[in-house]
């Protein structure tokens, strides 16, 4: 069968590449065509565009590059109709992918599957109308999404397990877990976008400065950011940068400061106590909006999955160097909050389950395609 996949960032490239590998196990004649990255390319098939040519985030960058984005979207739409795949598989990246889904539905009978569903439970809940209209099957990797889609919006979905949890388990199985000699490590995960790094990293560095004689402070460089970008923040600090070694770093870390996102879940899967830090502009206004308008109680995946405050979230008016320092010291060895957080991680593990998400999703996809042909 012919599979057309679309991703818009590095994490989508990773998850889609694993899904493609699983689809090949189910369908030995699988053909792939995709908007994706290097990891998907390594699996095989034809890459139409690299996701880096699509990855504009935020209102101003999107506005400035709107003609390019629209040109790529039109190319993708036409390429799908010309290639006539058996299914289009969208991976996250809803701003682009939901428009593709609408076009495919209006101009063809090609089924549209969504792997790693849009996070409309956090914002833009109105997109449920587009999903119901344009998406044939939705495959979720977060257990709490089942109630959101099925009970709140009466839209049946498939929970297939969480690929991040499986990726961490497989990494730990491969790795020899002997600690390296030297000082214990505090990991800094400051986000995957330049604005996030600019907002969060200076405070993280300041909050750990007093610990640099006792701990090795190590920053995980994001794959989409050049090492030179970090230099402006690391000058006159003891922080060491590593690139494309996030899992290796977390496997060695004693504690971590983490900007909200998938990194919070990855950190929990490595059983590393963490403080979630997310600086925002106009913090008092954002704090009000978070309290009164945000659809969910928490911003970190760890707390959302546990439905409990397992990790502290320093956001908006609670984000400060002093607060980061205080919470970090509480999760270091001997700290008052460390053991309770580690116990809370066990509930996250339990709720995620231990299924291999790409395999489960691939099996379901192949079965559904055959049933509906």
Per-domain residue ranges for the chain? Answer: 2-161+355-372, 176-352
Q: Mean pLDDT for the chain?
A: 89
Number of H helices, E strands in the chain: 17, 13
| 2-161+355-372 fold | Rossmann fold (3.40.50)
* Dist. CA 349–CA 30, nearest whole Å: 33
**pLDDT tens for each residue of 300-359:** 999 999 999 999 999 878 899 999 999 999 999 999 999 999 999 999 999 998 889 999
Its pTM stands at 0.86
**Among residues of the chain, what percentage have pLDDT more than 90?**
72
pLDDT score, position 30 = 97
pLDDT at residue number 174: 80
For the stretch 236-277, pLDDT in tens is 999 999 998 999 999 999 999 999 788 999 999 999 999 999
Domain 2-161+355-372 and domain 176-352, same fold? Reply is yes
Pick the CATH number of 176-352 from 3.40.1410.10, 2.40.110.10, 3.40.50.2000, 3.40.50.300: 3.40.50.2000
Report how far residue 183's alpha carbon sits from residue 307's, in angstroms, rounded to the nearest whole number: 35
Q: How confident is the model at residue 286 (pLDDT cuts 50, 70, 90)?
A: very low
Q: Could you tell me the end-to-end alpha-carbon distance of the chain, in angstroms, rounded to an integer?
A: 11
pLDDT tens, position by position, 119-170: 999 888 999 999 999 999 999 999 999 999 999 999 999 999 999 888 898 8
**Angle in degrees, CA 325, 328, 329, rounded to 5:** 85
Whether residue 288 has pLDDT greater than 70: no
**What is the rounded distance in angstroms from the CA atom of residue 168 to the CA atom of residue 14?**
13
Pull the structure tokens for residue 347: 């509930």
Q: What is the mean pLDDT of residues 89-112?
A: 95
User: In angstroms, rounded to a whole number, what is the distance separating the alpha carbons of residues 229 and 187?
Assistant: 18
State the CB neighbour count (10 A cutoff) for residue 240.
Answer: 13
Segment 93-103, tens digit of pLDDT? 898 999 999 99
């Amino acid at each position: 069968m012919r599979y057309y996949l679309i991703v818009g960032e590095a994490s989508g490239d990773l998850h889609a590449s694993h899904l493609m590998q699983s689809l090949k196990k189910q369908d030995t004649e699988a053909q792939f065509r995709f908007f994706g990255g290097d990891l998907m390319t390594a699996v095989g098939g034809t890459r139409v565009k690299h996701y880096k040519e699509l990855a504009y985030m935020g209102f101003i960058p999107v506005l400035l590059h709107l003609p390019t984005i629209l040109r790529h979207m039109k190319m993708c739409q036409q390429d799908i109709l010309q290639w006539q795949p058996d299914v289009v598989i969208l991976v996250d990246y809803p701003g682009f992918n939901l428009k593709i889904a609408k076009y495919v539905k209006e101009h063809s009978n090609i089924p549209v599957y969504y792997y790693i569903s849009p996070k409309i439970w956090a914002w833009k809940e109105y997109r449920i109308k587009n999903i119901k209209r344009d998406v044939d099957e939705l495959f979720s990797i977060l257990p709490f999404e089942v109630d959101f889609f099925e009970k709140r919006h009466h839209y049946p979905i498939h929970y297939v397990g969480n690929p991040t949890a499986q990726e961490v388990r497989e990494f730990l199985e491969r790795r020899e877990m002997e600690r390296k000699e030297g000082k214990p490590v505090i990991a800094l995960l400051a986000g995957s976008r330049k604005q996030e790094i600019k907002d969060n990293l200076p405070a993280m560095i300041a909050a750990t400065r007093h610990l640099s004689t006792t701990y090795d402070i190590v920053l995980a460089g994001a794959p989409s950011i050049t090492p030179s970008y970090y230099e402006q923040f690391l000058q006159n600090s003891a922080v060491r940068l590593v690139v494309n070694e996030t899992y290796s770093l977390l496997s060695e870390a004693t504690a971590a400061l983490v900007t909200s996102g998938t990194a919070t879940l990855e950190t929990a899967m490595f059983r590393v106590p963490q403080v979630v830090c997310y600086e925002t502009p106009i913090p008092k206004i954002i704090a009000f909006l978070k309290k009164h308008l945000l659809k969910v109680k928490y911003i970190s995946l760890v707390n959302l999955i546990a439905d409990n405050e397992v990790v502290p979230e320093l956001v908006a008016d609670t984000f400060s160097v002093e607060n980061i320092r205080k919470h970090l010291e509480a999760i270091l060895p001997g700290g008052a909050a460390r053991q309770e957080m580690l116990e809370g991680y066990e509930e996250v593990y339990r709720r995620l389950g231990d299924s291999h998400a790409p395999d489960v999703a691939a099996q379901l996809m192949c079965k559904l395609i055959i049933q509906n042909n």
